[in-house]
Amino acid sequence: MSKELIAVAMSGGVDSSAVAAMMKHRGDNIVGLTMQLWNQRRLPELATGEQSGRCCSIDDVYDARYVAQLLDIPYYVVNFEEQFEKSVVKPFVDDYLHGRTPIPCTLCNNFIKFDQFLEMAEGVGARKIATGHYARIVQDDETGRYQMLRSVDSTKDQTYFLCGLTQPMLARTIFPLGGHNKSEVRQIARDLGLPVAEKNDSQEICFVPNGDYAGFIDAYLKEQGAAAPDLAGEVVTTDGKVIGEHSGVHKYTVGQRRGLGIAARDPLYVISTEPQSRRVVVGSNEDLLTPKLEARDVNWISIAAITEPRRAHVRIRNRHIPAAATILPTSDPSRVAVHFDEPQRAVTPGQGVVMYDRDLVLAGGWIV
């Protein structure tokens, strides 16, 4: 009997193409699958003419298929558009309308790539999947627990978005790029003659062209026949003084400085958005600083749930440098309190929070 079948998630980009090529060349038995997640022909008013770097464009499927053909591996496009809209796009829109800043990549990982895709892979006979994510998985010999580590290339590390992966998911996932630098991956792709070796990295949120999420939300609501709710309201200071008006709370994120349209002596920042009253609260940079936070729906990855305080480095945004903190158990086992050594800027409800011990990813959750 031949080696066990492994499904490679192929997006048509350089990373997942390199994964497929590396595995094929080391003799793995692989099948390439591309997830069709979003129909780019929807919401035509957002069309930019620029397709590359956006998910599920015809070009990306073309590239993935071409790479599969060069590697002589079986290859299929699988359709998850319905699940993607339900589990990622709708919550994305909903979050903004409720004054939260969503992270769709995490939802996509939790509910599509490491859930639906894993199931699809098993359905076609592949117990394990491989993806082009930058992260590492190791198994603890003593406990048998799967642990996640940051990728060797710290600039590409994607553990922030992978913090929802559970033990059963980790047991069946391979991240072949976790030990490589991006430049090495490109070189591997070049050496193997992959046509996508010089392709640009994907940017922003894959289904939102040009990062214009407010435009996306307006267009999506219009397509759904849902009248865009009136989200215009007042801009107020932290002490409640009305200093201006805005055209929609969903256009503002915590920590934002530009685009307020209000002249002030000192720079103004968005401190919070209040969807109920449709108010955007602004203040000084100092007002953005927060000494602690609470995380909900905590997923313990490399260690079991803590029962006593533990030192950690905590990341509150993808680009945030993990800050020294103490994490403390609460009466609710699915929640932890995080006390930072130094106050952190723009702690945003609804964003993911990931706790590290050096490279080890301890746990991930959502900021309350």
Partner 1 sequence: MPRFYFDHNATTPVSTNVLELFSKCLAESYGNASSIHYHGQQSKMLLEQARRHTAALLHASPKEIVFTSGGTEADNLAIFGTMRGNARRHAVTTVIEHPAVLNAFAQLEREGVAVTYLPCDRQGMVSPQAVADAVSANTGLVSVMHANNELGTVQDIAAMAAIAQQTGAVFHSDGVQAAGKISVDTGALGVDLYAISGHKFNAPKGVGALFVRKGVELNAQQFGGMHEQGKRAGTENVPALAAMGQAAENAFCADSSRIGALRDQLEHGIKERIPDLQFNGVNAPRVPNTLNVCFDGIEGEAMVISLDLKGFSVSSGAACSSGAVEPSHVLLAIGLTRQQAKSSIRFSLGLGNDEAQVDQLIEAVAASCAQLRRLSPTYV
Residue for token pair 């998911």: 169
User: Can residue 226 be called a binding residue for partner 1 (CB under 8 A)?
Assistant: no
Q: Which tokens go with 316?
A: 């509150």
Measured in whole angstroms, how far is the alpha carbon of residue 145 from the centre of its chain? 24
Q: Which residues are catalytic?
A: 108, 206
User: Can residue 184 be called a binding residue for partner 1 (CB under 8 A)?
Assistant: no
Q: Which of 50, 86, 123, 262 binds partner 1 (CB under 8 A)?
A: 123
Residue 129 is given by DSSP the state: E
- 40 and 56 Cβ atoms separated by less than 8 Å: yes
User: Can residue 280 be called a binding residue for partner 1 (CB under 8 A)?
Assistant: no
Residue 346 is given by DSSP the state: -
Q: Which of 79, 167, 202, 237 binds partner 1 (CB under 8 A)?
A: 79
| Closest distance of CB 281 from partner 1, Å | 43
Q: Which is nearer to partner 1, 73 or 97 (CB)?
A: 73
Return d(Cα 304, Cα 309) in angstroms, integer: 13
Q: Which of 44, 25, 7, 336 is nearest to 219 (CA)?
A: 44
User: Can residue 65 be called a binding residue for partner 1 (CB under 8 A)?
Assistant: yes
| Closest distance of CB 137 from partner 1, Å | 22
| Closest distance of CB 277 from partner 1, Å | 40
Which span sits near partner 1 by CB under 8 A: 115-123, 128-136, 280-288, 333-341?
A: 115-123
Q: Which is nearer to partner 1, 83 or 284 (CB)?
A: 83
> Left if phi > 0, otherwise alpha if psi is -120 to 50, otherwise beta: which for 256?
beta
Q: Which is nearer to partner 1, 90 or 145 (CB)?
A: 90
Q: Is the dihedral of CA 322, 323, 329, 331 positive or negative?
A: negative
User: Can residue 124 be called a binding residue for partner 1 (CB under 8 A)?
Assistant: yes
User: Can residue 74 be called a binding residue for partner 1 (CB under 8 A)?
Assistant: yes
Return d(Cα 151, Cα 15) in angstroms, integer: 13
Which span sits near partner 1 by CB under 8 A: 47-55, 72-80, 298-306, 347-355?
A: 72-80
Helix (H) or strand (E) holding 55: none
**Residues binding partner 1: what is the number (CB under 8 A)?**
19
User: Can residue 72 be called a binding residue for partner 1 (CB under 8 A)?
Assistant: no
User: Can residue 368 be called a binding residue for partner 1 (CB under 8 A)?
Assistant: no
User: Can residue 120 be called a binding residue for partner 1 (CB under 8 A)?
Assistant: yes
Helix (H, G, I), strand (E, B) or coil at 326: strand
User: Can residue 122 be called a binding residue for partner 1 (CB under 8 A)?
Assistant: yes
User: Can residue 234 be called a binding residue for partner 1 (CB under 8 A)?
Assistant: no
User: Can residue 171 be called a binding residue for partner 1 (CB under 8 A)?
Assistant: no
**DSSP calls for 283-300:** E-GGGGEEEEEEEEEEEE
User: Can residue 31 be called a binding residue for partner 1 (CB under 8 A)?
Assistant: yes
CA torsion 121-124-125-129 (nearest 10°) is -20
Return d(Cα 280, Cα 238) in angstroms, integer: 10
Return d(Cα 326, Cα 341) in angstroms, integer: 8
Q: Which of 30, 56, 219, 347 binds partner 1 (CB under 8 A)?
A: 56
User: Cα dist. 141→55, 144, 147, 245 in Å?
Assistant: 38, 5, 11, 59
Sheet holding 269-274, edge to edge: 242-246, 233-237, 279-283, 269-274
Return d(Cα 170, Cα 130) in angstroms, integer: 11
Q: Which is nearer to partner 1, 20 or 280 (CB)?
A: 20
| Closest distance of CB 79 from partner 1, Å | 4
Q: Which is nearer to partner 1, 52 or 181 (CB)?
A: 52
Residues near partner 1, by CB under 8 A: 5, 31, 36, 56, 58, 61, 65, 74, 76-79, 81, 119-120, 122-125
